[in-house]
Amino acid sequence: MTPEETKDLAALLAKIPGVKGIDIKDVRRLTELLRESPEIGSIELRGFFGTGVVITRTGGSFPVGMPTGYAPPMAPAAAPAAPVAAADEPAARPAPSLLKEIKSPMVGTFYASPEPGAGPYVKVGSRVSGGTTVCIIEAMKIMNEIEAEVTGTVKEVCVEDAQPVEFGQVLYRVDPNG
């Protein structure tokens, strides 16, 4: 983050009701904390009645530090989604340790295709190489194209379309020898 961007962010944060006391030094510390600590998924500043700072870990969505009186919303327990795989996929597949993973670089909503009704960018059996767009992750109303960093054949699609994903969550498993 450039010094100008840091100043702009501090000015924007100062306009949030209940966060008036934030200083540019605080913004720099928060920025450095995010940069140096990959286990931190996000830092959220709240105003009004939820005044405070909420820090979430990448392994889950449970806050590390919560303002007094804040209770996270309770969601109904859901069974974990089964990986999406083609019905005609052969029973014998490479050991999971031999497969390379394409992981989500951010928190957001996973979209397998470029637009509703269109076919997915990739599916089980698709060949990918470095730079191949494999999906879109929507974060803060911005559509981010995610590219493969490995070359091989997609063996497993680990999330379903329009499903929320976390930072570091496995999206695809790719056989580099396939």
Mean pLDDT by 10 residues, the chain (178 residues): 71 61 69 73 60 56 40 42 48 65 93 92 94 92 91 94 94 91
pTM, 2 dp:
0.48
Nearest in space to 53 (alpha carbons), one of 63, 62, 61: 63
* pLDDT value, residue 133: 93
Residue 44: per-residue pLDDT: 67
b (16+ CB within 10 A) / e for 89-106: eeeebeeeeebbbbebbb
Tokens of residue 57, six digits: 């870990």
pLDDT score of 166: 94
What is the predicted pLDDT for the residue at 145?
Answer: 93
41 neighbors 167 (Cβ within 8 angstroms): yes
pLDDT score for 64? 41
Name the residue among 65, 23, 24 with its Cα closest to residue 44: 65
- Which domains, from first to last, does the chain contain? 3-57 (no CATH), 96-175 (2.40.50.100)
